[in-house]
Structure 1
């Protein structure tokens, strides 16, 4: 994955917008309380790369994997770096459901 660059922010914002249109009502309030302004974070787990983090809750983040084109859940210890790479193509609803199961 040499020379990989993260998805442009305007494209990410469109992905988020489209995913928000499909949110289940039970996830909508939760999403609005944890979403953040997208930030590029670093992951050194499986691949040494950068991805957009779009939500934070305690020690968990929801991030967009533009390689797989899906939303993922990982843990973190410090801002800017997360611990596990996920190769999921799940939608935002599924990522939020998994997060809610952990809390």
Structure 2
């Protein structure tokens, strides 16, 4: 039986990911991170009361999908509602790197 991740376990995953970030990436993370907060997601998020959003940048969020055990990026239109379900099993540092690289390419 699946059990949603606890805030304490999530915080440990975040701390572990932060240790892997340096320089520009750590600065970027420190600018976008928020206190973890549960956001709704229509497709799969109801069972666990939503997914933990850990960072916001523009109209995108980084959230932890505890069904698949990984961090993901999704757009949002309404604060508190994740727009797209993703099932990457990425660690936080790789997700932050991915978002940062996308931003660098656009600029």
Scaled by the length of structure 2, the TM-score of the pair is 0.83
In the TM superposition, what are the counterparts of 1:16-55 in structure 2 within 5 Å? Answer: 16-44=14-42, 46-49=43-46, 50-55=50-55
Specify the SS of the correspondent of 1:19.
helix
**Equivalent residue pairs, number:** 100
Q: From the two aligned structures, give the one with the greater strand fraction.
A: 1
Unaligned runs of 5+ residues in structure 2 are none
1:38, distance to aligned residue in structure 2 (A): 0.5
Specify the SS of the correspondent of 1:28.
helix
Q: Which residue of 2 aligns with 1:93?
A: 93
Say if 1:22 and 1:88 are closer, same or farther in 2 by CA, change over 3 A. same
In the alignment, structure 1 residue 58 sits paired with structure 2 residue 55: no
Specify the SS of the correspondent of 2:71.
strand
2:8 pairs with 7, 10, 21, which one?
10
Unaligned runs of 5+ residues in structure 1 are none
RMSD (Å) for aligned C-alpha atoms: 1.9
Inter-partner Cα distance in structure 1 for 2:45 and 2:67: 13
